[in-house]
């Protein structure tokens, strides 16, 4: 009997000891869908803000290091019964992100909820500061609410401006951006924005590629990518460069490659591409070999040029030209990231560790020096599966 009582007591204690203490009714939460984090630059920032008539940042204080902006949608409007602005935005400055969150609690009626954050934008000035960048990345990774499937992006200007974009279609900016990211499946020009990938890549190879986001008044454009090395941004890649990189990383969904042949412009829509990366050691040199096989569809030829697209030899020639074109782009980009940036964006070190552990044992200590000297080969095999409707 005594034992049973103790057991009962223990059981009851488990109810109190664990469980959910953070009860907030759903309508009292502010569902932050997008977060913008900028570096606080004292004088310049204040003056600029005054001119643009933005919310006034509190007194210049030496302890301020970040400007954080949260955007959350007016949920009443989504359910079709509220009114007012489609989106609310709060900006605050502070020493650390958690300081800022605490400070914001004094200004907002709801409590901040980060479970539905879809987008985190970092300003370029922040991304280039290693110390701040590492703090921010750790804060993001440590938060149990923020998911790993959200998008992390870097903007050349200030991140706050991205959140100010008045996208007419969607009150929740994060969802709007997410929908754009979905387009990644249709174009390879957007780098992989998955936070999980970026964090993992930074952990494993100290390098990652993060999409670039640019804002205008009513829309945003996501194209190109920022290159991170040693936890900070060191440069940009253009749209086509990003596309080539995505092909190398086996992340290219769909792409358009246009080649010129016999003075005819021929756009080929690649709807499937898969990349096989191998690393081989030969004569003391390390080779990275990219084997890309693609399937595509000819989308345009020239009116009233008959017979050519039915000619097998012609198509073979076209396939070869497309392959050459992509091979050239890939070689250029590879050279850029290898020689110019000296970053292991393709995570070759991880590939070596997993697939060639013996070789990795030999090179792991001087990998940073060996990597820029490794050689590469790329082979693209294109197959034109469809030529469209033709007479």
Partner 1 sequence: MGFFDDLFAKKKEDPRPKIPVEKNCEKNLDKIKEILAGSDDIIYRTFFVGNEQKMKFAIVYTEGLADKNLVNEYVLKNLMVLSRMADMEVHAFRHQVYEVIKDGTLSVSDLKEIDDINLAIDMILSGETALILDEWDKLLIIASKGWPTRSVSEPSTETVIRGPSEGFTETLRVNTALIRRRIRDPKLKIHQMQIGRRSKTDVAIVYIEETVNKDVLKMVKERLDRIDIDAVLETGYIEQLIEDNWRSPFPQAQYTQRPDSVAGSLYEGRVAILVDNTPFALLVPATAITLLQSPEDYYERFFIASAIRMLRFISVAMSLVLPAIYIAITSYHPGMLPTDLALYVAGSRNNVPFPAFIEAFLMEAALELLREAGIRLPAPIGSTIGIIGGLVLGQAAVEAGVVSPLMVIVVALTAMAAYATPNYGFAISFRLLRFIMMAFAAFLGLYGVIWVLLVILIHLCNLKSFGVPYLSPFVASTTSLKDFKDIFIRLPWHFMKGRPQYLHRMDSDRLVNNRNTIETEEGGTDEKK
What is 239-292 written as a DSSP string? HHHHHHHHHHTT----EEEEEEETTEEEEEEEEEEEEEEEEEEETTEEEEEEEE
Of 34, 73, 197, 343, the residue at the interface with partner 1 (CB under 8 A) is 73
- Of 41-49, 115-123, 225-233, 304-312, the segment contacting partner 1 by CB under 8 A is 115-123
Angle separating helix axes 195-205 and 130-142, nearest 10 degrees: 120
- How many CB atoms are located within 10 Å of the residue 347 CB? 18
Residue from 15, 62, 84, 358 touching partner 1 (CB under 8 A): that is 15
Q: Which stretch binds partner 1 (CB under 8 A): 97-105, 110-118, 126-134, 232-240?
A: 110-118
Query: Which one of 39, 65, 116, 229 is in contact with partner 1 (CB under 8 A)?
Result: 116
- Residue 88 within binding range of partner 1, rule CB under 8 A: no
CA dist 198 and 225 (Å) reads: 12
Select the span of 171-179, 263-271, 295-303, 374-382 touching partner 1 (CB under 8 A): 171-179
Q: Specify the stretch interacting with partner 1 by CB under 8 A; choose among 26-34, 267-275, 280-288, 319-327.
A: 26-34
Binding partner 1 by CB under 8 A: which of 41, 49, 75, 141?
Answer: 75
Q: Contact between 81 and partner 1 (CB under 8 A)? A: yes
- Beta-strand ranges (E) seen in the chain are 29-31, 34-39, 66-73, 87-94, 111-113, 119-123, 151-155, 207-215, 220-229, 232-237, 255-261, 264-282, 285-298, 375-386
User: What pairs with residue 295 in β-bridges?
Assistant: 272, 383
Residues in the interface with partner 1 (CB under 8 A) total 31
Edge-first strand listing for the sheet containing 87-94? 87-94, 66-73, 34-39, 119-123, 151-155, 207-215, 220-229, 232-237
Answer yes or no whether residue 371 interacts with partner 1 by CB under 8 A.
no
Among 2, 9, 25, 366, binds partner 1 (CB under 8 A): 25
DSSP annotation of 133 reads: H
Q: Among residues 9, 17, 26, 389, which is the contact residue for partner 1, using CB under 8 A? A: 26
**Judged by CB, which is closer to partner 1: 79, or 389?**
79
Asked if 224 is part of the footprint of partner 1 (rule: CB under 8 A), the reply reads no
282 binds partner 1 (CB under 8 A): no
Q: Of 172, 198, 252, 348, which one interacts with partner 1 (CB under 8 A)?
A: 172
| Near partner 1 by CB under 8 A: residue from 62, 80, 84, 168 | 80
Q: Which stretch binds partner 1 (CB under 8 A): 29-37, 190-198, 222-230, 288-296?
A: 29-37
How many CB atoms are closer than 10 A to CB 350?
16
Residue 65, interface with partner 1 (CB under 8 A)?
A: no
d(CA 267, CA 259): 6
Instruction: State the minimum distance, in angstroms, from the CB of residue 55 to partner 1.
Output: 24
Query: In Å, what is the CA distance from 132 to each residue of 38, 123, 125, 186, 346?
Result: 10, 11, 10, 34, 25
Burial bucket for residue 96 (CB in 10 Å: 0-12, 13-18, 19+): middle
Binding stretches for partner 1 (CB under 8 A):
15, 18-20, 22-27, 29, 31, 33, 73-82, 113, 115-116, 118, 145, 172, 174-175
């Amino acid at each position: 009997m005594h034992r049973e009582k103790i057991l009962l007591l223990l059981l009851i204690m488990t109810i109190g000891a664990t469980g959910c203490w953070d009860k907030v009714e759903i309508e009292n939460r502010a569902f932050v869908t997008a977060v913008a984090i900028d570096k606080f630059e004292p004088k310049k920032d204040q003056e600029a803000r005054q001119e643009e008539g933005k919310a006034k940042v509190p007194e210049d204080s030496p302890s301020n290091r970040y400007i954080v902006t949260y955007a959350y949608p007016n949920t009443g409007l989504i359910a079709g019964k509220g009114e007012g602005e489609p989106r609310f935005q709060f900006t605050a400055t502070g020493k650390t992100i958690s300081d800022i969150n605490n400070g914001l609690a004094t200004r907002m009626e709801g409590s901040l909820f980060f479970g539905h954050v879809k987008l985190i934008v970092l300003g370029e000035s922040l991304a280039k500061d290693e110390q701040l960048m590492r703090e921010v990345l750790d804060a993001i990774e440590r938060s149990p609410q923020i998911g790993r499937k959200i998008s992390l992006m870097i903007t050349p200007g200030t991140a706050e401006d991205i959140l100010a974009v008045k996208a007419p279609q969607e009150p929740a900016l994060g969802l709007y951006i997410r929908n754009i990211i979905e387009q990644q499946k249709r174009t390879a020009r957007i780098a992989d924005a998955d936070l999980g990938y970026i964090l993992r890549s930074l952990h494993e190879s100290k390098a990652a590629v993060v999409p670039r986001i640019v804002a205008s008044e009513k829309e945003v454009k996501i194209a190109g990518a920022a290159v991170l090395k040693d936890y900070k941004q060191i440069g940009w890649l253009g749209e086509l460069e990003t596309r080539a990189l995505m092909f190398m990383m086996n992340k290219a969904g769909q792409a358009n490659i246009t080649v010129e042949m016999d003075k005819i412009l021929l756009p080929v829509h690649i709807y499937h591409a898969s990349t096989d990366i191998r690393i081989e050691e030969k004569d003391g040199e390390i080779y990275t070999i990219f084997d890309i096989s693609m399937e595509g569809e000819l989308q345009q030829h020239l009116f009233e040029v008959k017979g050519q697209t039915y000619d097998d030899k012609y198509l073979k020639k076209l396939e070869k030209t497309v392959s050459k074109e992509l091979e050239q782009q890939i070689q250029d980009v590879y050279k850029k990231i290898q020689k110019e940036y000296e970053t292991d964006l393709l995570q070759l070190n991880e590939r070596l560790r997993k697939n060639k552990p013996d070789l990795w044992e030999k090179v792991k200590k001087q990998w940073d020096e060996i990597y820029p000297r490794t050689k590469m080969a790329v082979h693209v095999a294109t197959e034109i599966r469809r030529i469209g409707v033709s007479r």
